[in-house]
Amino acid sequence: MNAQDDVARSPSPVSEAEFAACLSSFDPGRSVAVAFSGGPDSLALLVLAARWAARRKNTVLHAFTVDHGLRAASGREAKEAARLSAALGVPHRILKWKGEKPSTGIQAAAREARYGLLFAACRDVGANDLLVAHHLEDQAETFLLRLSRGSGIDGLAAMPASRPLRDDDPALRLLRPLLDLPRARLLATVAKSRLTPIQDPSNENERFDRVKARKALSILAPLGLDASRLARTAAQMGRAREALEAEMARLLAGQASYSAFGFAEMKAEALIGAPAEIGLRALAALIRAAGGGRYAPRLVQLEAVHAVIGAGALGRGRTLGGVKLALKGGILIVSREVAAAQGAAPLLLRQGEEGIWDGRFRLRLDRAPRGRRFEVRALGSEGLAALRATQTGLPEVPSAILQALPGLWLSDKLAAAPHLGTLRRGMEVRVALRRMPWPDIGKGAEKA
């Protein structure tokens, strides 16, 4: 092979025009952020984004580096990332994960912390788009990892090029403009920039499953299972998932309702009569919405409960995913389990502040005594007793559902129950369902 053949076979850097075309499909705003570790992939992204922003009028680019503090070198690497960002003329901020770290599930916890810090930083600078450097091989590796865990269509579906960074705030998007590009072209882009990326030794540590998946790709490629083929399969799974989700939404729109008090109802006959895959998805959506969970229960658990509902054998009810499922007159009622609501982390609010409680409700304290900080936690039987003592009229809703609603407490005294009434003068609280489990359902659900 001669030198000309070598040049012809070497990957080409990503051009400015090519990257601009990738981003244009997203129609990004005027303030854009980049999740920047300083590694080769994110450095390629920042190089391309910096050039793109420089050619656009009134566009501000920010770079954020998360320092998890999990390795001795992480602080030094974050400072090096700041230096690289400065070399490209991009304002940079280091985001530190503070506090105690969990002893188990550290990778999942680190991911949660990372996106939480990035969300807050984006909000702080007014950025509505966060760019991340996932590429073609990342897509293929994710497919292999999920395949090894026995995932179904949802797990095997491709990482989307665009999604809300947080499911309760669709205005802030996570964008993956490099998702169709092979890593070799990103490395060529970095080489052309003459900047030296940070090398994370954990990227070669075969204790991590993703590194094993990366090694497996090189073995599978001669069989035709290269990154491009696996990524295409993942994309096909993604289209299948979208079709199933659309069918599920139609089923729920016609057969289910969701109350402002946070519980859902659906005709059991309609749930069981639907194709099994659609019925299982609908059941998972009801459980997530009523329970405030981020993830659906495991498939084997869903299948077991689905079968019990079909047999009409729920009896006095079952619990799953922090909710209680009960049948009444052929209607499936899905409501928050009182014990789970009482175990939810308290939310602290002062006047003018808002937040999410129990993954189910967004609360805003519009007016309150100055200097007072209230704790949001479940009403429980104690809260209902306090309301009854003041002759507050309670709706004809099962007591367990009311007990799982939020209350604002000052020490051990109930100050307000946003759905039911206020016990302390000068209090104004707004409450809304955090999310709807399906489109166009419960548009008036905030009216208690």
Q: Does residue 250 form part of some domain?
A: no
Q: What pLDDT score does 214 carry?
A: 79
Q: Does residue 448 form part of some domain?
A: no
Q: Does residue 443 form part of some domain?
A: no
Q: pTM higher than 0.85 for the full model?
A: no
Q: What pLDDT score does 205 carry?
A: 56
**Rounded to whole angstroms, how far apart are CA atoms 74 and 89?**
23
Q: What pLDDT score does 217 carry?
A: 81
Residues 113 and 24 in one domain: yes
Domain carrying residue 383: 341-433
Residues 111-167 pLDDT 10s:
889 999 999 999 999 999 999 999 999 999 888 888 887 778 888 888 999 999 987
Are 365 and 429 spatial neighbours (Cβ–Cβ below 8 Å)? yes
| Predicted confidence band of residue 6 (pLDDT cuts 50, 70, 90) | very low
Helix (H/G/I), strand (E/B), else coil: 329 = coil
Q: Which of 336, 360, 375 is the last residue of a domain?
A: 336
Q: What is the DSSP string of 46-72?
A: HHHHHHHHHTSTT-EEEEEEEE---ST
Q: What pLDDT score does 8 carry?
A: 43
| Predicted confidence band of residue 104 (pLDDT cuts 50, 70, 90) | confident
Q: Does residue 213 form part of some domain?
A: yes
Domain of 19, CATH number, reads: 3.40.50.620
| Predicted confidence band of residue 448 (pLDDT cuts 50, 70, 90) | very low
Q: What would the mean pLDDT of 343-355 be, rounded to a whole number?
A: 91
Residues 423 and 303 in one domain: no
**Rounded to whole angstroms, how far apart are CA atoms 55 and 52?**
5
Q: What pLDDT score does 155 carry?
A: 83
Residues 372 and 327 in one domain: no
Q: What pLDDT score does 438 carry?
A: 42
Residues 347 and 330 in one domain: no
Lowest mean pLDDT among 84-88, 116-120, 390-394: 390-394
Q: Does residue 245 form part of some domain?
A: no
Residues 421 and 388 in one domain: yes
Q: What would the mean pLDDT of 186-201 be, rounded to a whole number?
A: 92
User: Which tokens go with 109?
Assistant: 């916890």
pLDDT for residue 445 is more than 50: no
Residues 21-35 pLDDT 10s:
999 999 999 999 999
Residues 293 and 377 in one domain: no
Q: Quote the Cα angle for 80-84-89, to 5°.
A: 140
pLDDT for residue 439 is more than 50: no
**Structural domains in the chain (count):** 3
List beta partners, residue 410: 413
Q: What would the mean pLDDT of 32-41 be, rounded to a whole number?
A: 97
User: Which tokens go with 432?
Assistant: 């809304």
Residues 164 and 313 in one domain: no
**Rounded to whole angstroms, how far apart are CA atoms 273 and 271?**
6
Residues 139 and 197 in one domain: yes
Q: What would the mean pLDDT of 360-385 be, rounded to a whole number?
A: 92
Q: Which of 313, 336, 359 is the last residue of a domain?
A: 336
**Rounded to whole angstroms, how far apart are CA atoms 26 and 173?**
10
Closest CA to 31 of 180, 173, 161: 173
Q: What percent of the chain has pLDDT over 70?
A: 93
pLDDT for residue 298 is more than 90: no
Q: What pLDDT score does 7 carry?
A: 41
Q: Does residue 324 form part of some domain?
A: yes
Closest CA to 278 of 319, 318, 249: 249
Residues 200 and 171 in one domain: yes
Q: Does residue 444 form part of some domain?
A: no
Q: What would the mean pLDDT of 373-399 be, rounded to a whole number?
A: 93
Q: What would the mean pLDDT of 67-95 be, rounded to a whole number?
A: 94
Residues 321 and 348 in one domain: no
Q: What is the mean pLDDT of the chain?
A: 88
Are 290 and 400 spatial neighbours (Cβ–Cβ below 8 Å)? no
Q: Which of 305, 336, 367 is the last residue of a domain?
A: 336
| Predicted confidence band of residue 88 (pLDDT cuts 50, 70, 90) | very high
Handedness of CA 238, 239, 242, 248 (dihedral sign): negative
pLDDT for residue 278 is more than 90: yes
Residues 382 and 426 in one domain: yes
Residues 297 and 418 in one domain: no
Are 146 and 157 spatial neighbours (Cβ–Cβ below 8 Å)? no
Q: What pLDDT score does 203 carry?
A: 63
Q: Does residue 176 form part of some domain?
A: yes
Are 133 and 178 spatial neighbours (Cβ–Cβ below 8 Å)? yes
Q: What pLDDT score does 112 carry?
A: 86
Phi-psi group of 257: left, alpha or beta (phi > 0 → left; psi -120 to 50 → alpha; rest → beta): beta
Q: Which long-range contacts (CB under 8 A, 24 or more apart) does 97-103 make?
A: 97/66, 97/67, 97/68, 97/69, 98/69, 101/69, 101/70
